[in-house]
Amino acid sequence: MSFMTMLTKKFSLPAKEEALPGRADAIRPVETHFVNGNPLTGPYPDGLETVLFGMGCFWGAERLFWQLPGVHVTAVGYAGGHTPNPTYHETCTGRTGHTEAVLVVYDPVIVSLTDLLKVFWENHDPTQGMRQGNDTGTQYRSAVYVKSAEDLALAETSRKTYQEALKAGGVNASITTEIRQLEEFFFAEDYHQQYLAKNPAGYCGIGGTGVSCPTGLDQEA
């Protein structure tokens, strides 16, 4: 495979045997959260839960979540692929299988997964497949990765509910969001963490469909 081919953004996920080999050593952020000062890496305080969201470029997506009451810490990284401990540049080749993801560590007493899913659905277009706006490639696909079967059922119900809301709102495209149980998350490089707090004029590709997400997503459909 030529170097130029390796750098081409792909619109289909690589098979495990096609993925880049990665490395044994993980990227470990050395700084605390730039906004709230909490450690980015675990173990986190007892009683907190985690979820991963992919919704395009992770810079703008992360800012949405760190502003929410009840969110203990956020971090950006890579999830849903094959390559162990990928770098940003490797992920951008499309040959790791990962999407850019935001780790949200939250207190479910203050903010529920339902609340977080509402922010997720309303602030990107989950119907675009391997892209988000002008950002194209597998690393920009929409995704929700949860830790438990209970959270998985809630996320899948929320997808069905929001699909119905899109149809009612005149959006006839199907949701392409990948939803599955997944605990593996690879932290991105320090310069990506809380990027828009460090660079207020930086690029933010966040934009939704304009369709509100119904409340009560934790109810059975």
- Please identify every residue annotated as catalytic: 57
Residue 64: partners with Cβ closer than 8 Å, 6 or more residues away: 119, 123, 206
Structure tokens given for 104: 């949200």
Q: Which residue has the tokens 């919704």?
A: 55
DSSP 8-state symbol, 44: P
Burial of 1 (0-12, 13-18, 19+ CB in 10 A): exposed
How far apart are the two ends of the chain, measured CA to CA in Å?
47
